Amino acid sequence: MKRGDLVLISVVLAAALIFLVPRWLDGKDSEKNHNNPLTATITVDGQLFKTVELTEEEQIIEIKTDHGMNILKVYDYGIEMIEADCPDKVCLSFGFVDKKNQSIVCLPHKVLVEVEGASGGESQDEVDAVVN
């Protein structure tokens, strides 16, 4: 191995660590927040359907209305839309949400899932981005 090869390997390893360390630290912060779990508020056509605590245990929530059917899955302190019979299935692309102020929306079925802080918990609003 030449000196240039060692420099290249060092740069690649340093770049990998730069991307991995924030994810590792974020995982540690989320473990602390499980003492004050989040909740998900599910509304259908503007009316409250159900409020569910986001826990580690798996829960399946079926929403059947005149508009259609959606299935939500709660697990690992988050929630995800896993099935829907709407034509476009955009709601399935929201994926797993586990942070405050994230949401899942199914427009054809008029379903809205909003992640909120637990009642009585302290607010931990974070800035997502700053635009100049």
Tens of each residue's pLDDT in the chain, 132 residues: 788 889 999 999 988 888 777 766 665 555 545 667 799 999 999 999 999 999 989 999 999 989 899 999 999 999 999 999 999 999 999 999 998 889 999 999 999 999 998 654 444 556 667 787
64 token code pair: 């059947």
pTM of the predicted protein model: 0.65
Neighbours of 42 (CB within 10 A): 19
Q: Which residues contact 74 (CB under 8 A, 6 or more apart)?
A: 40, 52, 54, 55, 57, 58, 59, 60, 61
